[in-house]
Amino acid sequence: MPSILIVDDDDDMRDMFRDRLKDDYEIIDTGDAEEAIALTLGHKPDAVLLDLLMPGFSGFELCQTLSSLSFTQHIPILIISGQPATNYQSVCENLGASGYFEKPVRFDQLRSRLSSLLVTKKPDRRREPRARLNVVLKLRGTDRIGTEFELLTTTENVSARGFACGCTVELEKDAMVEVFLCSEIEHFVGKARMAWTEWRTTGCPRYGFGFSEKPSKWILE
């Protein structure tokens, strides 16, 4: 049975969600956003239902944190909020949320969205160990419309065979880039292929790259 983590500081709201969803999902819940990080890491839920306005560590901060950690970034997050979608939906999507539902929630729509997300759930990309390292790289290639580019970026995490980073250009699927490591002396590392993308429509999408061949003098050997 798929599992869902419900994060809401309203006890009655958590009880209602548990009662309405318990037949289809294993329910984990907490009213503490900071505890939610530990629960997500420990239980690896299939989805997170998240309230926005909570005391202390807010839902905005939790959404951004879970979307940025390599161990949790593949878990879809649905915002459940009493705030109008027109106020915060685009902000939450930019932070990594996969959907936004206003309270009172229409559970038929919520169940439909959950089913869709879990069927198309992104595969866990952690096929090899990743390290959260900020490494300055230069990328050179051709963007989606065929314009050549050269830009500096900073990695979010790296592995022996690839890296993830933000990028200010839009790339086609499977695009190839030349990668240069910018340390004391800039040197060519190798060519890498774009393997996945997130937040494509935000103006600063995130990309994951995998080297096409064993890289030369890479940060992780």
Give per-residue pLDDT as tens, 139-157.
999 998 999 999 999 998 8
110 and 140 in a single domain? The answer is no
pLDDT digits (tens, 9 = 90+) for 186-207: 999 999 998 888 766 556 688 8
Rg (CA), the chain: 19
Q: 155 and 168 in contact (C-beta within 8 Å)?
A: no
CA gap 187, 217 in Å, rounded: 8
153 and 67 in a single domain? The answer is no
Q: Which residue has the tokens 């997500």?
A: 40
Whether 216 is covered by a domain: the verdict is no
Whether 80 is covered by a domain: the verdict is yes
Boundary of a domain, candidates 119, 154, 173: 119
Q: Strand, coil or helix: what is 11?
A: helix
Q: How many domains does the chain have?
A: 2
Q: Supply the pTM of this predicted model.
A: 0.58
Name residues whose C-beta falls within 8 Å of residue 47's C-beta, 6 or more positions apart in sequence: 2, 4, 5, 75, 76, 77, 78, 114, 117, 118
Q: 90 and 96 in contact (C-beta within 8 Å)?
A: no
Whether 22 is covered by a domain: the verdict is yes
113 and 141 in a single domain? The answer is no
| Model confidence band, residue 34 (pLDDT cutoffs 50, 70, 90) | confident
Supply the CATH number for residue 98's domain. Answer: 3.40.50.2300
Whether 15 is covered by a domain: the verdict is yes
147 and 110 in a single domain? The answer is no
The boundaries of the domain holding residue 162 are 136-211
